[in-house]
């Protein structure tokens, strides 16, 4: 039987392993694929565009479904046209889940340089709800990712800002932030939407 493929558009094998472990809680036969040509974290429009081109052209193992697990959904549209199986981006899935029932929602994440891209994806895929914007952490994204306590503290501050703006649901935006979303969920007063599980649930419905 073909696997469900979780594509990590950056080059961190550690991130790939963490995302596969999460996906395995929702889906059978999950396999990871890492984009070795990319930097360890996608933090700006240049690296996002490069990852999109790399993912769209990648020679991938045969799969029953594909999840592109970076929050900019790089290469999703082109990959979806090329492959016969379902292809889901985690930003698309998260926006649709967060906007359910017309809810006001926001994004908390670590990559301010990608704010315009994130806003565009949320507006495109979350139109059933009311998108309030993206709330960013301060500091270097890669340094935050290397320090769990600092990452959680920074994301919590962004979540509090989103709550204050009226968010009824908050998306923790980023494939590498998947574990942080799980840790923060019990601490945030409004529901957190976790992009990777949201994408897994979309894929599961199509199997």
Same domain for 30 and 44, yes or no, is yes
Q: Per residue of the chain (207 residues), give pLDDT as tens.
A: 789 999 999 999 999 999 999 999 999 999 999 999 999 999 999 999 999 999 999 999 999 999 999 999 999 999 999 999 999 999 999 999 999 999 999 999 999 999 999 999 999 999 999 999 999 999 899 999 999 999 999 999 999 999 999 999 999 998 889 999 999 999 999 999 999 999 999 999 977
Same domain for 201 and 187, yes or no, is no
Task: Evaluate whether 26 touches 206 at the Cβ level (below 8 Å).
Answer: no
Residue 2 has what pLDDT? 87
Residue 43 has what pLDDT? 93
CATH number at residue 184: 3.40.50.1860
Same domain for 122 and 70, yes or no, is no
Same domain for 76 and 97, yes or no, is no
Range of the domain at 52: 3-90+197-206
Q: By C-alpha distance, which of 70, 137, 130, 75 is closest to 98?
A: 130
What is the pTM assigned to this prediction? 0.94
Task: Evaluate whether 172 touches 109 at the Cβ level (below 8 Å).
Answer: yes
Same domain for 64 and 97, yes or no, is no
Residue 193 has what pLDDT? 97
Dmax (CA) for the chain in angstroms is: 47
Same domain for 101 and 117, yes or no, is yes
Residue 160 has what pLDDT? 98
Number of domains into which the chain is organized = 2
Task: Evaluate whether 145 touches 155 at the Cβ level (below 8 Å).
Answer: no
Helical H runs in the chain? 13-23, 45-57, 76-82, 90-98, 115-125, 141-145, 148-164, 178-184, 195-206
Same domain for 97 and 58, yes or no, is no
């Amino acid at each position: 039987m073909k696997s469900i493929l979780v594509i990590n558009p950056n080059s961190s094998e550690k991130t790939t392993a963490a995302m596969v472990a999460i996906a395995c809680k929702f889906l059978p036969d999950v396999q990871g694929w890492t984009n070795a040509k990319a930097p360890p974290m996608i933090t700006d429009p240049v690296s996002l565009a490069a990852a999109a081109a790399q993912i769209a052209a990648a020679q991938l193992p045969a799969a029953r479904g594909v999840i592109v697990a970076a929050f900019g959904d790089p290469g999703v549209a082109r990959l979806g046209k090329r492959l016969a199986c379902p292809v889901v981006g985690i930003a698309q899935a998260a926006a649709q889940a967060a906007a359910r029932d017309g809810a006001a929602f926001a994004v908390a994440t670590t990559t301010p340089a990608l704010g315009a891209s994130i806003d565009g994806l949320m507006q495109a895929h979350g139109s059933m709800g009311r998108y309030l914007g993206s709330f960013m952490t301060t500091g270097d994204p890669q340094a935050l990712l290397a320090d769990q306590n600092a990452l959680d503290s920074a994301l919590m501050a962004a979540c509090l800002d989103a709550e204050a703006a009226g968010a009824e649901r908050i998306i923790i935006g980023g494939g590498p932030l998947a574990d942080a979303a799980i840790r923060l969920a019990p601490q945030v007063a409004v529901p957190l939407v976790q992009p990777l599980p949201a994408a897994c649930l979309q894929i599961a419905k199509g199997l």
